[in-house]
Amino acid sequence: MKAKLLAVVSAAAFLSACANMNIPGVRDMADEGSAFDAALHQNYADLAQAEYDEADWADARYFTNRSKMAAAGQDGGPQMISERSLPEDAMSEVDVARADLMAALDAGGRDKAASAAARAQSSFDCWLQELEENIQQEDIDNCRAAFYQALAIVQAEIDAGPVAKAMPMPMTMPLPMNVYFGFDSAEVSDKAMSVVDGIVAAYDKYDPAMISLVAYADRAGDAMYNDILAKSRVDAIVAALRAGGVPASKLAISISGESDVPVSTADGVAEQGNRVVAVTFEDGM
């Protein structure tokens, strides 16, 4: 009886959570605002669907509502940081990131680069949502990389305006980016490729003296094999970066394999956080 009651309660909770989340219907709503709003409409629908597929009803509903508002031309801007409970060590970066995003939007980014501006805003909101969950580092990194990639495009469009700048301000290098891989794989997935695109965009914007790539593998399996796997991973990233226009002379490569891994584990443990190529930008100063 108790199990049956729990099943009934769970089913009721599921139906309640799914109410007002007709994501396909929201996606098909007519756009009443600008090109920026129309792009946001679809981006937020994508985020709603992704959270729905993970049974995260609260965030699915949040992004569904954001999609509706964008379709109606009534978007309220990137989410306020105070609306999310974020890890303390992330606060400084997201504060600066939101300020940079607002500056770009207010400088005409919504009109000059509507699609990229919408992607920057929705990726920022995705980044906040994943940081609040703080359980999927790969998803955090993917949203973060997509944000910086899109923001760089918006800023470039703004900088390309008719007003010449007498003296460019020096820029600090962007924070490191991580490209993750599947278990026993050196294939660059679609998610990983979005991070690679962000690295290329950062290279174009910041012109670093060097880009350092350190390749890792988790500690499952033979150490020598993991060194070979790590090398295959960094080779794949180098190929993708070179295809994106980053010269080989700007890439410094090292193979760490399963030694000195980012996430400390016992030998034999398969850990997603260690199946990664860590990318750092260096300014040569």
Q: What is the pLDDT of residues 94-132, one digit of tens each?
A: 998 899 999 999 999 999 999 999 999 999 999 999 999
Beta bridge partners of 281: 211
- In this structure, the strands spanning 251-257 and 177-180 are unpaired
DSSP H or E run through 277: strand 276-282
List per-residue pLDDT tens for the chain, 285 residues long: 444 444 444 444 444 445 457 999 999 999 999 999 999 999 999 999 999 999 999 999 999 999 999 999 999 999 999 999 999 988 988 998 899 999 999 999 999 999 999 999 999 999 999 999 998 888 888 898 888 888 888 888 887 654 444 444 445 677 788 889 999 999 998 888 888 988 898 888 888 999 999 999 999 989 999 999 999 999 999 999 999 999 999 999 999 999 889 888 899 998 888 999 999 998 865
Chain-centre distance for alpha carbon 69: 23
Enumerate the CATH 3.30.1330.60 domain ranges in the chain, comma separated: 177-282
End-to-end CA distance of the chain: 70
Which of the four CATH numbers 2.30.30.180, 3.30.1330.60, 3.40.309.10, 3.40.1790.10 does domain 177-282 have? 3.30.1330.60
> What are phi and psi for residue 211, nearest 5 degrees?
-115, 120
Beta bridge partners of 205: none
